[in-house]
Amino acid sequence: LHDEFTHLPSFPRKSLETCFGMYNGPLGRELYSIDSTHKFVWALLMSDMFAKMENAFMFGDLHLFINVINGVTLLHCENVTILRRCMATYLSMAIHFNTLFTNQGFFLIMPTILLCYSQRQTNPLLCRTIEYVCKQFYILHRKPFLLQMAGSVANILDINDDNFEVNPMKVKPKYWFNLLHSMEDMNNMDDPIDLLDLINETKPLKALDLCYRDDPNTFSLLTDALASAVTVCAFAPESRRCYQMLLVMQATIPYFLEQIEKDTIEEENSMVAVKHEISIYTTLCIEMKALVNCCDILARGPTRTFDIVNSVSDRGKSFIADSPQFFDPPTLIEDETKMHYS
């Protein structure tokens, strides 16, 4: 079945085709129900196929099958039956294809999930479900999930804060922050639509990596999300990932500052709340100072070179300098007096 699908030029487009104009006629509601059933069957088929695949790296075209789930989610995410099946499929994939999702798998699904979350804030059940799924993703994969989610949202962040100008292909920063803020409440693990009942794994779900197996299931926006973003920037300040993390921090920190002030006001500016707010500011300042100190290479202009290439030993220098990933050819600026004009 996998080979047959991959040889079809119309896959996965054919499985997601929908004629929206037919839903407004006399039998529009009936046709919409038929289309919903059609999409649900496709989602169920993909879920069964994923369960039968032994290794994700044996299927280089796995993204084609994941796109079916993504398309069905975008079209019918407010249908509880379809939402439950698609979210359970995402969780099952994150467990079944553990190695793939540790490296890059979340880049295939998180843009869809984040767009649904941002576009349908008026649907509390959908929002709570996505928040719960993200908590489970974090429990399963921890920092790799967090960094991939940040990288996914960086390319689709809508910097415009005007609530009346909505871009369906973008994610509002305040909704992105709301999702991160909801993940901090790991004590509230209420499953709104009973997703785990569709997953054939031991409950409750635990971290897949043995390095995280004994860690508590806690999440802090300050010490986990922002600190991880700063670490990525410090490790490779000229990489694309660094640029993504900078965009995410630019969108997140203003709402984070508003939230900690709001939390202090809600506690009536008590001494304990004020001290806690000051400690948060102190930690944030330390992180920003580390970011500035590590990313000063970005302010050196077009003639900058990697300090790591010049400072490592001969053995390390040959490895790093010869690698195309780290090689940065210097920009040669000719003397204006020697330039020839035609």
pLDDT at position 8 is 79
Residue 302: how many other CB atoms lie within 10 Å: 8
pLDDT at position 319 is 31
* Domain co-membership, 251 together with 203: no
Site of tokens 């609530």: 163
Is it the case that residue 300 has pLDDT exceeding 60?
Answer: yes
Q: Is residue 320 part of a domain?
A: no
* Domain co-membership, 131 together with 190: yes
pLDDT at position 59 is 60
* Domain co-membership, 235 together with 149: no
Residue-range definition of the domain harbouring residue 43: 1-212
Q: Three-state DSSP class for 171?
A: strand
Q: Is residue 312 part of a domain?
A: no
* Residue 63, both tokens: 């993204």
Lowest-confidence pick of 59-63, 179-183, 204-208: 59-63
pLDDT at position 56 is 58
* Domain co-membership, 189 together with 263: no
Residue 281: how many other CB atoms lie within 10 Å: 12
CA distance 71 to 115: 12
* Domain co-membership, 270 together with 133: no
pLDDT at position 339 is 43
Q: Is residue 158 part of a domain?
A: yes
Is it the case that residue 44 has pLDDT exceeding 90?
Answer: yes
The pLDDT confidence band at residue 323, using thresholds 50, 70 and 90, is very low
Over the stretch 136-182, which tens digit does the pLDDT of each residue have? 999 999 999 999 999 999 989 988 777 777 888 999 999 999 999 99
Q: Residue 180: enclosing H or E segment and its boundaries?
A: helix 173-183
The pLDDT confidence band at residue 41, using thresholds 50, 70 and 90, is very high
The pLDDT confidence band at residue 340, using thresholds 50, 70 and 90, is very low
Number of domains forming the structure of the chain: 2
Lowest-confidence pick of 26-35, 86-95, 233-242, 322-331: 322-331
Q: Which pTM does this prediction carry?
A: 0.83
Q: Is residue 123 part of a domain?
A: yes
The pLDDT confidence band at residue 31, using thresholds 50, 70 and 90, is confident
* Domain co-membership, 243 together with 101: no
Q: Is residue 200 part of a domain?
A: yes
Q: What is the mean pLDDT of residues 194-206?
A: 90
Q: What is the mean pLDDT of the chain?
A: 83
pLDDT at position 310 is 36
- Between residues 59 and 53, the one the model is more confident about: 53
pLDDT at position 214 is 82
* Domain co-membership, 116 together with 203: yes
Q: What whole-number percentage of the chain has pLDDT above 90?
A: 52
- For residue 171, the cross-strand partners are 157
Q: What is the mean pLDDT of residues 276-302?
A: 85
CA distance 307 to 69: 45
Last residue of a domain, one of 195, 212, 229: 212
- For residue 157, the cross-strand partners are 171
Last residue of a domain, one of 166, 193, 212: 212
* Cα–Cα distance list, 103 to 100, 107, 144, 175 (Å): 5, 9, 7, 25
Q: What is the mean pLDDT of residues 84-101?
A: 93
**Backbone CA torsion sign across 227, 152, 105, 113:** positive
Q: Is residue 141 part of a domain?
A: yes
* Domain co-membership, 97 together with 137: yes
**Backbone CA torsion sign across 7, 12, 13, 18:** positive
Q: Is residue 137 part of a domain?
A: yes
DSSP 185: -
Sequence-distant (≥ 6) Cβ neighbours of residue 139 within 8 angstroms: 205, 206, 207, 217
> Rounded to the nearest 10 degrees, how much is the dihedral formed by the CA atoms of 244, 186, 138, 113?
-70
CB contact at 8 A, 80 and 125: yes
Q: What is the mean pLDDT of residues 119-139?
A: 95
